[in-house]
């Protein structure tokens, strides 16, 4: 193996074997100079437009980074005063990135919509650290140049995701999700060592949620002031080799708070199997963020992902409200399949 190959990132264990590595990974951002910044020094402009960027760091980017002033082509220097009509183009070379294009399935497509089955591990939109392994970038790679996801799913949540195929549909779909509240049905596989769910069968959790203040992890949600409602129904019980009893739940939500299903199920004493944040210590979560392929840490979990799947979605077509559409994303075999679980006590779905 060459030294160059040894420096390439490992395939994430959450991804399938057919993930591919894209080595050419350049993030390009353009910052137009509007009337508020005419005459502003270039170093100050960058420090104002880029979050948490100091003037000294801006100077370093100007001197040594890949930066261009368009369309004038003037030579960048920290003291350069920006002019009307110019834009500052900044290119950042990022690490090679594994993408899960082969795992994305198109469930439905017409002139207005593209409905996909998003794999666990793939983001919906670009983040600070991930540019290519996103549904947004996948749409571009497939030739859907103007398409855009209309809602969100967590990185490790798989399942039905609605995308607008054309720009005119983006605000229409977002309004539909905000006002018509399409019916979303999830499947969640939870730890259930005390057999809570076979006895309970179904329940509704109405604990209000909000950010947990005063903790190291600012991403964690807990009891708060935001109205939240989750309905869960037991479908079947099963056992995972090495991780014991689990229950397979059908889950619907009346509200869409951040991490709502994951938090409410943890509050029930039955956290989602494979969840690295809820049901685990802060130290565990931070260690997984630092080393997502740490096999020792992953070996303490039943799955490399959390077992939450956006199973079904029912909504009116954005151009014809009388046309009700029902999308179903098959359950991922790596979690719900016979190789992963031994099922029993099965009810009709």
**Segment 259-314, tens digit of pLDDT:** 999 999 999 999 999 999 998 988 999 999 999 999 999 999 999 999 999 999 99
> Which band of pLDDT confidence, cut at 50, 70 and 90, is reported for residue 347?
low
66-91: average pLDDT: 96
Sole residue written with tokens 């130290």: 283
Helix (H, G, I), strand (E, B) or coil at 325: strand
245-262: average pLDDT: 95
75-87: average pLDDT: 96
Q: What pLDDT shows up at residue 6?
A: 61
Q: Which token pair is 260?
A: 């709502």
Q: What pLDDT shows up at residue 3?
A: 47
Q: Are 313 and 164 in contact (CB under 8 A)?
A: no
153-166: average pLDDT: 97
Please count the other Cβ atoms lying within 10 Å of the Cβ belonging to residue 48: 15
Superfamily of 1-25+97-175 according to CATH: Pseudouridine synthase (3.30.2350.10)
Q: Could you give the residue range(s) of every CATH 3.10.290.10 domain in the chain?
A: 27-93
- pLDDT at residue 4 greater than cutoff 90: no
Q: What pLDDT shows up at residue 219?
A: 84
Q: Are 164 and 113 in contact (CB under 8 A)?
A: yes
The enclosing H or E element of 31 equals strand 26-32
- pLDDT at residue 242 greater than cutoff 90: no
Specify the range with the lowest mean pLDDT, choosing from 16-20, 49-53, 287-291, 313-317: 49-53
Q: Which token pair is 264?
A: 């409410």
Q: Are 118 and 99 in contact (CB under 8 A)?
A: no
285-291 contact pairs (CB < 8 A, 24+):
285/217, 286/216, 286/217
Query: 27-93 has which fold?
Result: 3.10.290
| CA 42 – CA 82 distance, rounded (Å) | 7
Q: Are 282 and 217 in contact (CB under 8 A)?
A: yes
pLDDT digits (tens, 9 = 90+) for 198-235: 988 899 999 999 998 866 677 889 999 999 999 999 99
Q: Could you give the residue range(s) of every CATH 3.30.2350.10 domain in the chain?
A: 1-25+97-175, 183-308
| CA 337 – CA 248 distance, rounded (Å) | 12
Q: List the end-to-end C-alpha distance of the chain, in Å, as a whole number.
A: 50
114-136: average pLDDT: 96
Q: Are 309 and 159 in contact (CB under 8 A)?
A: yes
Class of domain 183-308: alpha beta
The 10 Å CB-count burial string (b at 16+, else e) for 139-155 is beeeebeebbbbbebbb
Whether this prediction's pTM lies above 0.95 is answered by: no
Q: What pLDDT shows up at residue 349?
A: 47
């Amino acid at each position: 193996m060459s030294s160059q190959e040894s420096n390439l990132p490992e395939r994430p264990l959450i991804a399938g074997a057919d993930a591919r590595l894209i080595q050419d990974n350049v993030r390009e951002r353009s910052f137009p100079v509007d009337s508020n910044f005419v005459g502003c020094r270039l170093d100050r402009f960058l420090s104002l437009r880029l979050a948490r960027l100091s003037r000294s760091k801006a100077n370093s980017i100007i001197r040594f980074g890949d930066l261009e002033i368009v369309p004038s082509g003037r030579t960048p220097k920290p003291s350069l005063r920006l002019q009307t009509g110019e834009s500052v183009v900044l290119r950042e070379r990022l690490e090679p990135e594994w993408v899960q294009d082969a795992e994305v399935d198109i469930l439905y497509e017409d002139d207005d919509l593209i409905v996909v089955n998003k794999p666990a591990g793939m983001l919906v939109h670009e983040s600070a650290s991930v540019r290519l392994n996103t549904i947004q970038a996948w749409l571009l790679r497939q030739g859907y140049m103007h398409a855009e996801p209309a809602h969100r799913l967590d990185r490790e949540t798989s399942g039905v995701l609605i995308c607008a195929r054309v720009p005119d549909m983006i605000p229409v779909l977002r309004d539909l999700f905000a006002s018509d509240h399409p019916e979303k049905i999830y499947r969640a596989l939870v730890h259930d060592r005390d057999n809570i769910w076979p006895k309970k069968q179904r329940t509704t959790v109405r604990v209000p949620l909000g950010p947990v203040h005063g903790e190291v992890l600012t991403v964690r949600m807990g009891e708060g002031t935001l109205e939240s409602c989750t309905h869960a129904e037991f479908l079947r019980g099963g056992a995972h080799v090495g991780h014991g009893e689990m229950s397979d739940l059908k889950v619907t939500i009346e509200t869409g708070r951040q991490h709502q299903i994951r938090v409410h199920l943890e509050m029930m004493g039955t956290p989602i199997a494979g969840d690295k944040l809820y049901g685990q210590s802060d130290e565990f979560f931070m260690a997984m963020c630092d080393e997502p392929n740490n096999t020792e840490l992953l070996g303490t979990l039943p799955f490399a992902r959390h077992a939450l799947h956006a199973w079904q979605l029912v909504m009116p077509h954005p151009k014809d409200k009388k046309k009700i559409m029902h999308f179903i994303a098959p359950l991922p075999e790596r979690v719900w399949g016979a190789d992963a679980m031994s099922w029993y006590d099965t009810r009709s779905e």
